[in-house]
């Protein structure tokens, strides 16, 4: 929390331990983390047609996957393969397991539930020379911020304006930093 004041007091009872009280008063810090539980499912694959991975990933995202990754690896007998890893909400774990077992050559799935820490964040709309876009603002410990323009918005604006995506991205990040620090920043400094 952001500390505003501290108070001390001594009680009148004579106890075997010091009879003292200390009270901290402050505002909840927006930079505290949210936590939740996610399920992680993994399998190793060395005999799958690579063309099928795009279909599998689409089906998993449609079924609620939070993230799907394919990591190249070397497997037994020095075969090239991939580690398929899926992060989902616990309630979607059965759907992810079913997709892995029916849409891949895998015979088994490793599963674990993990605690995930997330930065608190807001979503603001900003004006850029190329048009309006949304930007995620994450609140960092210590009062700083991270700005993440929405990729699809920036890509659309870059296409329409016929400029490099990076130019739109930088313009959106700059606009968000200015807007956030001038209209909201004072809230996080008290």
Same domain? For 51 and 7 the reply is: no
Domain CATH code at residue 87: 3.30.70.1380
Q: Are 189 and 143 in contact (CB under 8 A)?
A: yes
Same domain? For 61 and 14 the reply is: no
pLDDT per residue as tens digits for the range 23-78? 888 876 655 678 899 999 999 999 888 899 999 999 999 999 999 999 999 998 88
Of the candidates 129, 153, 114, which has an alpha carbon nearest to the alpha carbon of residue 35? Answer: 114
156-180 in b/e form (b: 16+ CB < 10 A) is ebbeeeeeeeebbbebbbebbbebb
Same domain? For 10 and 50 the reply is: no
pLDDT at 16: 84
pLDDT at 19: 86
pLDDT at 97: 97
Same domain? For 76 and 11 the reply is: no
CB-based contacts of 118: which residues, under 8 Å, 6+ apart?
Answer: 33, 34, 35, 36
Q: Select from 56, 90, 118 the last residue of a domain.
A: 118
Indicate the number of domains in the chain: 3
Same domain? For 40 and 12 the reply is: no
Domain boundaries, position 155: 121-188
Same domain? For 24 and 94 the reply is: no
pTM of the model: 0.69
Same domain? For 114 and 38 the reply is: yes
Same domain? For 43 and 13 the reply is: no
Same domain? For 16 and 78 the reply is: no
3-state secondary structure of 171: helix
Same domain? For 39 and 109 the reply is: yes
Q: Are 90 and 39 in contact (CB under 8 A)?
A: yes
Q: Select from 118, 140, 174 the last residue of a domain.
A: 118
pLDDT per residue as tens digits for the range 52-66? 999 999 999 999 999
Please state, in angstroms and rounded to a whole number, the distance separating the CA atoms of residues 14 and 147.
55
pLDDT at 31: 53
pLDDT at 27: 73
Which residues of the chain fall below pLDDT 50?
Answer: 185-190
């Amino acid at each position: 929390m952001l500390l505003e004041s501290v108070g001390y007091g001594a009680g009148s009872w004579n106890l075997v331990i010091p009879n003292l009280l200390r009270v901290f008063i402050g505002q909840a810090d927006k930079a505290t983390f949210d936590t939740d539980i996610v399920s992680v499912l993994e399998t190793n694959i060395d005999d799958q047609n690579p063309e099928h991975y795009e279909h599998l990933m689409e089906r998993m995202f449609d079924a609620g996957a939070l993230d799907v990754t394919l990591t190249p690896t070397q497997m037994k007998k020095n075969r090239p393969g991939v580690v398929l890893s899926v992060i989902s909400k616990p309630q979607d774990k059965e759907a992810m397991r079913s997709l892995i077992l029916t849409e891949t050559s895998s015979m088994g799935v490793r599963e674990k539930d993990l605690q995930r820490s997330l930065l608190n964040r807001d979503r603001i709309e900003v004006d850029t020379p190329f048009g309006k876009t949304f930007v995620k603002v994450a609140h960092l410990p210590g009062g700083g911020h991270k700005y993440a323009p929405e990729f699809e918005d920036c890509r659309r604006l870059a296409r329409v304006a016929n400029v490099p995506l990076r130019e739109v991205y930088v313009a959106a990040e700059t606009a968000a930093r200015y807007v956030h620090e001038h209209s909201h920043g004072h809230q996080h400094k008290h």
